[in-house]
Structure 1
Amino acid sequence: MTTHRERAPIADALDRYRERKGTSFHVPGHKNGRIYESHSQVAGMLLDAMRVDVTEISEMDDLFQPEGIIQEAQELAADCFCADESFFLVGGSTAGNLALILTVCATPGDMLLVQRNVHKSILNGLKLAGARVVFLRPEFDQHSGLAIAPSLNTIRSALDAYPEAKGLMVTMPNYYGMGSDLRPIAEACHERGLPLLVDEAHGAHYGHHPELPRSALACGADGVVQSTHKMLAAMTMGAMLHVQGDRLDRGLLRQRLSMIQSSSPSYPLMASLDLARRLLHTQGADAFTAGLAAVAAFRRGLAQLPRFGLLQPLQPGEPAAGPAAAAYTRQDPFKAVIYDRTGALSGYALQRALEARGCVPEMSDEQRVVLLFTLGSTLDDANHALWALMHIVEQGEEPEGIRSGGEKDGSEAGLINGPYLNQAGYTMFKPVELLSNEDVETSLDRSLSQTQATDEPHVSTWNNLQEENPYSSPITFSIQPISQDRVEPIAVTESTGRVAAEMVIPYPPGIPILYPGELVSYDMAERLVVLHQAGAKCQGVNDTTLATLLVFKQ
């Protein structure tokens, strides 16, 4: 007999619709894929999806006024993920982040505390809300230099300094699977009656197996966004928003979700969310057995290849290295982040070498490659990756990427002469500055006075050179565009001390390293040159090669 948890209401309804083979007198126009049945170039699997690509007809319910199968599916999701209420998202975690911000910052000028190294969707949500933002400086893993979450001390200080804030938004885990315990952060927010919002896009699987970290909801978060398609088994763009407690206005949240999502949501996509939930609900921790065995086998094999290192937090008994150690205490076991210990291969070059051998990584940066395992991974996958790495060693892969002194494959030297920069645009070791702090502050003041005189929006975080500041001053975000006659392109090698007029978003992971109005520090100029020379893909820029940067005119 089928139990309640074994039901998949949306998927079951679509199966019934397909079996009836009724004549469609409704959208979409492809009429259950019939228009393509005589087109041999249309893949059969796409036709199968079209046969259940329906709209809000009888029995199919309405995502924004659910009373039937969608309501039941969302209630089952809430039960599975231990939420008070869950919402299906058909626009990825982006839709959830936008809706949460527009709910908490309901009035233009409302203030939100935000971790600085956040996904671009959060910045866009702040613009849409017209919010005032206080950015919190992240801590850094001392070994890798990668940015994690802000420290508890930074969060408490910012909460004390800005009691008018409407809440706090952080990202946990980051793209590399790094994180820490959110419980003290939730407690700090709740002591002041404020909600904790968590972008948990990469942690939808958390809390469902003893070897996985505790979920944000279990740590006390009030609103949590998860990309169910990333680490679980939904289709791309399938995500969920989970809420608990009474610190969020759920009526307003529903309204915001209906505003920023399509009024014609994909039913196959929602069905995939339904099926991903059912898999967890019925199998529980057993759903992860094969995937965890695969990644464990990969880690054992990697230990036999001393050329390659593996990112991981401090092990028991290792000495802590300052407050950053507390910010990185948990690693997602499904994220195997590897790097070439010799430095001969950059992360980008290592990714290309793996792809040439049939292994397609999730992403890479200047040093590292992220191999993403999930509950769908197998021992064959692990063996394939190990075989590829062994061949890279045995075949003596030609070194690529940035060499000492900033040269790439004989090209002209750039600014780089020192350590790699981390994903958030900071470096752990300060190079010699091209400008003194006084010179940079003068340049920034001059740029600000020129841009503010026009009464157009100006968005700025704190000066990157002033890393002793744990949080920024309040910054007003606006959706109003920047006038093009106020900006100009300059070479990235000459950008130190100038004020950026565009976002620079390495993708993946989609975390802006520069915002319009932010001063370009020496460190940032270095990073831009690295990205340019490595051929990194960036969004938000006018020059996709990143040879030039759009800045405010002086």
Structure 2
Amino acid sequence: MSNQNKYIKAPLVEALVNYAERKDASFHVPGHKNGRVYQRLTETYQIFGSIAGIDATEISGLDDLHHPEGVIAEAEEKAARFFGAEATYFLVAGSTAGNLALILSVCTSPGDVLLVQRNVHKSVIHGLMLAGANAVFLGPQADTASGLVTIPSVETVREALRRYPGAKGLLVTHPNYYGMGGSLAPLAGLCHCSGIPLLVDEAHGAHFGLHPALPRSALSEGADGVVQSTHKMLSGLTMSAMLHVQGGRIDRKLLRQRLAMIQSSSPSYPIMASLDLSRGLLEAEGPSIFEEGLQYAGKLRQEIMRLRRFGVVDIQPAAGSRDLVEGDEYLYGYTTQDPFKVVIYDKYNQISGYKLQERLEQAGCIPEMSDSRYVVLALSLGTSLQDVERLLTALADMDEEVITEGQLTNSEGVCEASNKYVTSSGSEVNRDHRDNSPGEAVIPDHQKFSTWNIYSASAISTEVPFRMTPVREEETEKVSIYHTEGRVAAEMVIPYPPGIPLLYPGEWITPDIAGLLTKLYHAGAKCQGTADSTMSTLRVYKNQKVGAKQ
């Protein structure tokens, strides 16, 4: 991959380079004075000096992020044209800032209703709190093979819009952390027929639509507001992200004002420059910039599938016990897979996802994340063949451990010499049949608490209010984790990673969620947001209890 013969047009980067080369006398912030302070450090630490050389501020010629008229405005306009938006806003506080700004722009009065996919990032919940909004949670669709979930179904969204005609918008996460997704176009169509915007947290899909082998982007599917983490799957620095807007359903003047409220008045120029440079590099190289990375990702998938021990999560054509036919992509939530996200698991269930991540880290291969079952490997346009071969060597070494005296021992210590397995659907099958069905995951009951496996007895919740007012201690009580069903939660339960809340304050605890809470407790999962770190108890509101049936 080489761009030596191609001119990268990145106006903000060029302005910063010129600024650094001029070596002006600085009588302005920041205090390191173009990195001069770092010159007294040892050579090991002087790398900070090179970074600080472009760590500028809003002086003449470098524009202002919150009122762009010069090079930042030009850089944002170039990004909008490249990614297919009508307007693009640079973010220096990650996709979190974009999610907050979108919610604050569409929910402008306390009590406004926003339709929200049930398993969203905690930043969405914080946005609802800041806006004083009421959320109506929509249950996601489950991929029956992997047990992982994606976007809400068309039927769920249609019914939610019927029940809540005054909703201000629909917010979904696409793709999920595992690179899984479906078609957003029908959801956008439903929203637009109701006169509301479709908001998409596309943090993990900034690269979508930039190569024929990649899934379509949310913008191309009709989304009105899209947040992308340029640092996740492209080449921006950490915390760099973009917010794209199209159509007239989002007030752009208000959106710019909201962004100024939640982002620093002294934004990082290196972060902004990395956004400009990332777009410039992609534009100069074109789709070919992804070719090597896609080739290595394909090699990794193929080689893993040759191993006895490990499986790869992928789309199963026989979803719902039958082949997909025309139109079925609207019915199933898992019809697209990011080729750069390779999700692996131990087919024999001897190693949990957490343990597999630990073993890979010991071999010098650092995964993106893991849950009780799966490990997510995030490749990109920057992935090297050497890295892929190192990972394959580590997996091949573990593959040699899989068979001992012709018997297997599962994670609960049960010898499985009988050649039988219990699948994720609860049926018992022969090992030979299971090996030919890579989508059938062997998942013990106590492991079915993945953050993304949030099932609910009702696909559409009642309104859940979110406010900034702290929960008053005297209004709550602690109850045993075994007695939470039917109560109203007074705290948030966030299995981490990846930080997707399982339970929100003010939410009724359904039988399904109560069951998941006990599984979390027994599995010793790490959770944020709970007063009791052991998860043996949970805070709920006093004198608030609903029937088990919602």
Give the TM-score, by structure 1 length.
0.85
Aligned to 1:350: 356
> What does the per-residue CA deviation read over 1:189-236, in whole Å, with 9 as the maximum and x for residues that have no partner?
111221111111110000000000110000011110001110100011
Question: Whole-Å Cα distance in 1 between the matches of residues 113 and 487 of structure 2?
Answer: 27
* Alpha-carbon shift at residue 3 of structure 1 (Å): 12
Which segment is superposed worse, 328-337 or 109-118?
109-118
Residues 284-323 of structure 1 deviation map (CA, whole Å, 9 limit, x = unaligned): 1111011101101101111110211111112379725999
Is the 2:91–2:97 contact (alpha carbons within 8 Å) kept by the matching residues of 1?
A: yes
Question: 1:13-92 alignment to 2 at 5 Å?
Answer: 13-40=15-42, 43-92=45-94
> CA 1:298–1:124 in 2, change beyond 3 Å: closer, same or farther?
same
Q: Give the conservation status (yes or no) of the 8 Å contact 2:349–2:410.
A: no
Q: Report how far residue 526 of structure 1 moved.
A: 4.7
**2: CA distance between counterparts of 1:506 and 1:127?**
20
State how far apart, in whole Å, the 1-side matches of 2:409 and 2:529 are.
Answer: 26
Cα RMSD of the aligned pairs, angstroms, is 2.7
Residue 229 of structure 1 is aligned with which of 228, 231, 249?
A: 231
Larger displacement relative to structure 2 (35-44 or 502-511): 35-44
Tell me the distance in 2 between the aligned counterparts of 1:19 and 1:510.
Answer: 42
Distance in 1 of aligned mates of 2:355 and 2:323: 32
**Structure 1 position 403, deviation (Å):** 2.9
TM-score (norm 2): 0.86
Alpha-carbon offset, residue 278 of structure 1: 0.8
2:472 pairs with 1:483 = yes
- Helix, strand or coil: the match of 1:499? strand
2:106 aligns with 104
1:362 aligns with 2:368: yes
Check whether the contact 1:101–1:125 (CA below 8 A) recurs between aligned residues: yes
Deviations 1:6-33 (A, max 9, x none): 3111111111121122222111122222
Displacement, 1:400?
11
CA contact (8 A) 2:482 2:518 kept: yes
CA gap of 1:487–1:320, structure 2 versus 1, over 3 A, is farther
1:329 aligns with 2:335: yes
Cα deviation for residue 532 of structure 1 reads: 4.8
Q: Please give the per-residue CA displacement for 1:455-491, whole angstroms capped at 9, x wherever unaligned.
A: xxxxxxxxx4xx1x22112232211110122334455
Deviations, residues 31-66 of structure 1 (Å, cap 9, x unaligned): 222223222286232221112111111111000100
Counterpart of 1:185 in structure 2: which amino acid? L
How far 1:512 moved relative to its partner?
0.5
Deviations 1:422-458 (A, max 9, x none): 423546xxxxxxxxxxxxxxxxxxxxxxxxxxxxxxx
* 1:508 aligns to 2:510 (yes or no): no
Query: How many angstroms apart in 2 are the aligned matches of 1:548 and 1:25?
Result: 57
Name which of structure 1's ranges 152-161 and 20-29 shifts more when overlaid on structure 2.
20-29
Shift of 1:552: 3.1
Cα separation, 1, equivalents of 2:485 and 2:409: 27
Q: Which amino acid aligns with 1:421?
A: F
Match of 1:421 among 445, 449, 452: 449
Contact 1:336/1:370, CA 8 A, preserved across alignment? yes
Alpha carbons of structure 1 residues 4 and 290: separation in structure 2 relative to 1, 3 Å: closer
Question: Which ranges in structure 1 are unaligned for 5 or more consecutive residues?
Answer: 406-415, 428-463
Distance 1:46 1:401, change over 3 A: farther
Bigger shift: residues 479-488 or 268-277: 479-488
Any unmatched runs of 5+ in structure 2?
A: 415-443, 544-550
Alignment of 1:403 with 2:392, yes or no, is no
Q: Given residue 495 of structure 2, which amino acid in structure 1 is its aligned partner?
A: P
Describe the SS at the equivalent of 1:15.
Answer: helix
In structure 2, the residue corresponding to 1:160 is in which secondary structure?
Answer: helix
1:389 aligns with 2:378: no
Query: Which region of structure 1 is more displaced relative to structure 2, 85-94 or 38-47?
Result: 38-47
Matched AA of 1:423: T
Q: What SS does the corresponding residue of 1:472 show, helix, strand or coil?
A: strand
- The one-letter code matched in structure 1 to 2:229 is S
Tell me which residue corresponds to 2:117: 115
What secondary structure is seen at the aligned counterpart in 2 of 1:473?
A: strand
Letter in 1 for 2:499: G
| Structure 1 position 327, deviation (Å) | 1.1
Q: How many residues of Structure 1 are paired with residues of Structure 2 in the alignment?
A: 504
Structure-to-structure mapping, 1:211-222, within 5 angstroms? 211-222=213-224
| Equivalent of 1:284 in 275, 283, 286 | 286
Deviations 1:490-529 (A, max 9, x none): 5545544543221122232221011112344454455445
Name the residue aligned to 1:375.
381
Q: Which residue of 2 aligns with 1:338?
A: 344
Alpha-carbon separation, structure 2, partners of 1:359 and 1:273? 27
Pick from 311, 319, 322: which aligns with 1:319?
322
